[in-house]
């Protein structure tokens, strides 16, 4: 029998226990082990429809990488395979292609956003489209939040990367992040104009050249200063901090990507550190007693290993009681554009989460990822009996 090299899958099955897609679909081909087995034998460039479909059925959540007994990185191998794939698999191919095209083209995205927003603002509160986009009932044209309380200094001490959702669709998240940032740093953060999509959607689709182009543009956009770069989107943070790996084979960009990544500041970590540095600081009490569940985005939980700061912050807020799901944190099934490509699997994964939420019966669900927020809101609907879903930045801005 041939010896197993360290880079080969040991078929131990540890990944099957944590893989949300395998748990939802129950087929070996849906696990990291099954996909690696196929990748060792079949060239993605000559993929059949069925093989292409299997390669598209991974959320790239990173749970398997954390537990892998051989230290393998199955999501990275999946991304590399998708790069070689010559056919598109999964549902809603056109919608995904348009979405990726828009995300890869900042000018096009800004145009779509400015044309589409007035229409979206007119959607009635119970509109299905509003639900599908995860828009808050109160509307997306959130007016800028009131002036930040507390001290003000002249020059910004932070730069801000809001990401596409908070720039174009969920502006209330961007405004809330700015307000919380100002409360701790003393001034509104700088918002460099040339910044663009973090590139996660392009990377997930195997479009590495677009992901690299967007990375270079973002690095340039923030190169005018050396301020820490705050972001309140878990998915963006996860993608931005891996720019050094993405641009590792480009000598003229490698050092710039490393310097960029060192400046990144994840929102909940920033707030928790700010509270530690200023023991006199306290968020106001919740206007009513509420049980709150913090939903861990996979991009923070598995990629960045940030799970405690949001919980530490929530525990300090009078009137909030932090509740946990009986089976521990669960993936929501959104995974970049996975929910569009694989709606049935994404729905099953989300149903497991909703089931757990039903049992925990919180009044409020909060998270730090715009993608998770939208997908959970869609799943819960707008029924008044369901828990509210709010981005952590929005929740905290209300309690300043």
Site residues for ligand SF4 per CB under 6 A:
9-15, 18-21, 32-33, 36, 58-64, 67-70, 72, 74-75
Distances (CA, A) of 16 to 21, 61, 67, 285, 390: 9, 13, 10, 42, 31
Q: What is the 3-state secondary structure (H, E, C) of 352-382?
A: HHHHHHHHHCCCEEEECCHHHHHHHHHHHCC
Q: How far is the CB of 40 from ligand SF4 (least distance, A)?
A: 11
When the beta carbons of 62 and 206 are compared against ligand SF4, the nearer one is: 62
- DSSP string over 17-56: HH-HHHHHH--GGGSHHHHHHHHHHS-GGG--HHHHHHHH
Q: How far is the CB of 302 from ligand SF4 (least distance, A)?
A: 8
Q: How far is the CB of 333 from ligand SF4 (least distance, A)?
A: 10
When the beta carbons of 11 and 315 are compared against ligand SF4, the nearer one is: 11
- For residues 132 and 385, what is the distance between their CA atoms, to the nearest angstrom? 19
Q: How far is the CB of 23 from ligand SF4 (least distance, A)?
A: 9
- For residues 260 and 217, what is the distance between their CA atoms, to the nearest angstrom? 12
Q: Are strands 364-367 and 388-391 parallel, antiparallel or unpaired?
A: parallel
When the beta carbons of 253 and 338 are compared against ligand SF4, the nearer one is: 338
Q: How far is the CB of 88 from ligand SF4 (least distance, A)?
A: 18
When the beta carbons of 57 and 148 are compared against ligand SF4, the nearer one is: 57
Q: How far is the CB of 332 from ligand SF4 (least distance, A)?
A: 12
- For residues 40 and 9, what is the distance between their CA atoms, to the nearest angstrom? 10
Radius of gyration of the chain (CA): 21
When the beta carbons of 33 and 96 are compared against ligand SF4, the nearer one is: 33
Q: How far is the CB of 132 from ligand SF4 (least distance, A)?
A: 23
When the beta carbons of 39 and 196 are compared against ligand SF4, the nearer one is: 39
Q: How far is the CB of 26 from ligand SF4 (least distance, A)?
A: 13
CA angle 114, 203, 46 (to 5 degrees): 125
- For residues 259 and 286, what is the distance between their CA atoms, to the nearest angstrom? 39
- For residues 357 and 338, what is the distance between their CA atoms, to the nearest angstrom? 22
- For residues 102 and 110, what is the distance between their CA atoms, to the nearest angstrom? 9
Beta strands in 243-391 (DSSP E): 264-266, 290-295, 320-323, 364-367, 388-391
Residue with tokens 């994964």: 349
Q: How far is the CB of 299 from ligand SF4 (least distance, A)?
A: 11
Compute φ and ψ for 196, nearest 5 degrees: -140, -170
How far does Cα 224 stand from its chain's mean position?
Answer: 26
When the beta carbons of 63 and 264 are compared against ligand SF4, the nearer one is: 63
Q: How far is the CB of 291 from ligand SF4 (least distance, A)?
A: 29
Residues 6+ apart with CB under 8 A from 102: 108, 109, 112
- For residues 117 and 122, what is the distance between their CA atoms, to the nearest angstrom? 9
Q: Are strands 229-231 and 264-266 parallel, antiparallel or unpaired?
A: parallel
């Amino acid at each position: 029998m041939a010896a197993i090299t360290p880079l080969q899958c040991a078929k131990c099955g540890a990944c099957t226990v944590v893989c949300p897609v395998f748990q939802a679909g129950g087929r070996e081909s849906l696990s990291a082990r099954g996909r690696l087995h196929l990748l060792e034998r079949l060239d993605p460039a000559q993929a059949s429809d069925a093989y292409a479909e299997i390669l598209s059925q991974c959320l790239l959540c990173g749970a398997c990488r954390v537990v892998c007994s051989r230290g393998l990185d199955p999501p990275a191998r999946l991304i590399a395979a998708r790069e070689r794939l010559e056919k598109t698999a999964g549902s809603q191919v056109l919608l995904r292609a348009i979405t990726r095209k828009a995300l890869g083209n900042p000018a096009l995205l800004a145009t779509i956003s400015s044309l589409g927003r007035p229409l979206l603002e007119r959607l009635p509160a119970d509109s299905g489209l509003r639900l599908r986009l995860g828009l808050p009932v109160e509307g997306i044209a959130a007016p800028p939040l009131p002036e930040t309380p507390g001290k003000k200094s002249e020059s910004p001490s932070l730069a801000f990367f809001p990401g596409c959702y908070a720039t174009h669709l969920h502006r209330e998240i961007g405004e809330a992040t700015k307000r919380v940032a100002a409360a701790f740093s003393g001034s509104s953060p700088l918002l460099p104009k040339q910044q663009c999509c973090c590139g996660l959607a392009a990377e997930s689709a195997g479009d590495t050249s677009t992901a690299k182009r967007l990375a270079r543009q973002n690095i340039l956009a923030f190169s005018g200063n050396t301020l820490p770069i705050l972001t309140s989107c878990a998915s963006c943070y996860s993608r931005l901090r891996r720019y050094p790996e993405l641009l590792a084979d480009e000598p003229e960009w490698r050092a710039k990507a490393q310097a960029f990544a060192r400046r990144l500041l994840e929102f909940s970590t920033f707030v928790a550190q700010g509270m530690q540095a200023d023991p006199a600081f306290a968020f106001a009490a919740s206007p009513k007693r509420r049980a709150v569940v913090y939903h861990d985005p996979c991009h923070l939980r598995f990629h960045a290993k940030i799970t405690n700061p949001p919980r530490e912050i929530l525990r300090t807020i009078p009137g909030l009681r932090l509740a946990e799901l009986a089976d521990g944190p669960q993936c929501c099934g959104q995974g970049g554009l996975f929910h569009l490509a694989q709606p049935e699997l994404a729905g099953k994964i989300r149903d497991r989460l909703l089931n757990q939420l039903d049992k925990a019966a919180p009044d409020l669900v909060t998270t730090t990822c715009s993608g998770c927020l939208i997908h959970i809101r869609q799943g819960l609907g707008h029924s008044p009996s369901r828990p509210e879903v709010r981005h952590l930045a929005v929740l905290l801005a209300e309690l300043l």
